[in-house]
Amino acid sequence: MIKNLAGTDLDVNEEGYLTNMNQWTEGVAAAIAAEEGVGPLVEGHWRVIRYLREQQSKGAALTIRGMGKSGVVTTKELYDLFPGGPLKKSSKIAGIPKPVGCI
Amino acid sequence: MRNLLILGAGTAGTMMANHLRRRLPRAEWRLRLVDRSEKHLYQPGLLFLPFGDYTETQIIRNTRDFLPDGVDFIHAEIGEIRPQDREVALTNGNVLGYDVLIVATGCRTAPEETEGMLGPKWRDNIHDFYTLDGARALREKLASFTGGRLVVHVNEMPVKCPVAPLEFTFLADSFFKKRGIRNQVSLTYVTPLSGAFTKPKASRKLGHLLGDKGIELVTDFVAERVDQENDQLVCYDGRVVPYDLLVTVPTNMGDEAVRRSGLGDDLDFIATHKHTLQSPEYPDVFILGDATNLPASKAGSVAHFESETLADNILRHIGGKPLKEEFDGHSNCFIESGEGKALLIDFNYEHEPHEGPFPFAFGPMRLLEESRLNHLGKLAFRHVYWNLLLKARPLPGISRQKKAPPTIAK
């Protein structure tokens, strides 16, 4: 389905996650963050977002440990930056798929 | 004589030995397989062992019984993989050279990764069921459990057989009902993900199961530590979940030999091409099963589908032909939902688990629906595993690539 955010038409799935990470812009990130009650986005958020997008484009499976040990941010800071759901919210704002189990 | 070396004689390594011994000329290729254990464990059985439904003898066999003639089984611990030199050092001092290497070293639980997990109460009121020792100890514990807070906990993703913790929770519900003490037990499922079911179709179809069974759900919970003094899990955001009995799935990591060899990521999983299963760095090295870093489930069915593509690709690699970019993340599994019923799911990298008949377009089983037949299928699968799967014989009606889901009118 299509959703209009930050003046752009975006392909999203039924939970609002971007299905094409190339449609992502910083403006899109800010708009999703506002919807999720996160932010305003500061340098800490952007570091996480850039790391997630980098890992995703490498095809690596994303883990909270990966983030915690990446030196980008500690797990505790991640919860502070994206309260309530550090993985699902940061992924959504970074324009990458939601971290999921198999079902 | 050229050498093909397989590391790990679990599900994936055993299947590859069977596939390739059939297809590589014996006069030209020597096949060797290394593992630290001479016993093969039917890992899906670990889910049932704690409830007394399976015995150890039903789930353990001799590894050699599943290897064809012409495969040298080497009972040894792997020291270091040295892909630059095309050799593998064993901890007993021997060094094995290879022309083609298949790494199938699987994954292991790493409770030491979580602060406080391995304290004095490990295997007292903190248990796991992903190891044989753990499943046995939990069987004793459950037999004498008279009531209280049972918490089932997934520490972090990815874990082997990602639905097993949920299945365990469902089976525990049935187990306590059968013993007539369900009202004495509170059941809680704690996950780092945003739900027990995270994919929309499964969530819609199955979301009611937890509520129906009176299972409390705690989501987005990443454990900072286990507080053994107060018998509670502590989340990074300060939330706590108290327990009387904690059944945890500790962090899963690749084999320690992978780390010693500098070949893994931060969880010791090995970089793998997601469609060919070749190492992006070393063309003579291929990886399959739980050892890969692929965004596919760590499960026997995935290893099975991978093994078919990989057998073709090894032949192509040897013959100097381009590899097939064929593996699609196909996974297929039964999910025990308790009370003698099970679900069946089928999915891949692209398609989430969906509804429909299986196998083919007519059945007899139904995907993503609870039934008695699916449960019988899961029990029958143990025989399929020992007699067909490990020996890399074809499973009738089940293709290596996933069939596109049927379009279902809403």
Burial of B252-288, coded b for 16+ CB within 10 Å and e otherwise, reads: bbbbebbebbebbbebbbbbbbbbbbbbeeeeebbbb
Q: Are B284 and B257 in contact (CB under 8 A)?
A: no
**CATH architecture of structural domain B117-251:** 3-Layer(bba) Sandwich (3.50)
Query: Does the pLDDT at position B409 exceed 50?
Result: no
Q: Which neighbouring-strand residues pair with B242? A: B232
Residues of B in contact with A63 (CB under 8 A): 156-158, 266-267
Distance from CA of B220 to the nearest CA of A (A): 5
Query: Does the pLDDT at position B329 exceed 70?
Result: yes
Q: In this predicted structure, what is the pLDDT of residue B362?
A: 66
Q: In this predicted structure, what is the pLDDT of residue B410?
A: 41
Q: In this predicted structure, what is the pLDDT of residue B215?
A: 97
Is A102 part of the annotated catalytic residue set? yes
Q: Are B244 and B232 in contact (CB under 8 A)?
A: no
Please identify which residue in the block is written with the tokens 């690539």: B401
Question: How many Cβ atoms sit within 10 Å of the Cβ of residue B116?
Answer: 18
- Domain B2-109+253-318, CATH number (from 3.50.50.60, 3.40.50.720, 3.30.1160.10, 2.60.40.1180): 3.50.50.60
Return the SS3 of A45.
helix
> Domain extents for chain B?
2-109+253-318, 117-251, 332-389
Q: In this predicted structure, what is the pLDDT of residue A55?
A: 86
B117-251 has the same fold as B2-109+253-318: yes
Q: Is the peptide bond between B359 and the residue preceding it cis, with omega within 30 degrees of 0?
A: yes
**Which DSSP letter does residue B268 get?**
S
pTM of the prediction? Answer: 0.94
Q: Which of A1, A61, A102, A103 is catalytic?
A: A102
Provide the pLDDT confidence category of residue B406 given band limits of 50, 70 and 90.
confident
β strands within B100-239, DSSP E: 100-103, 107-109, 126-127, 148-154, 185-190, 215-218, 223-227, 232-235
pLDDT tens track for A47-71: 999 999 998 888 776 777 777 777 8
Is A103's CB within 8 Å of B236's CB? Answer: no
- Which of B162, B224, B294 comes nearest A102 by C-beta? B162
**Which DSSP letter does residue A59 get?**
T
β strands within B350-401, DSSP E: 356-358, 365-367
Between the CA of residue B79 and those of B8, B35, B107, B289, what are the distances in Å? 13, 11, 16, 20
Provide the pLDDT confidence category of residue B180 given band limits of 50, 70 and 90.
very high
Is A76's CB within 8 Å of B353's CB? Answer: no
Q: Find the length of chain A.
A: 103
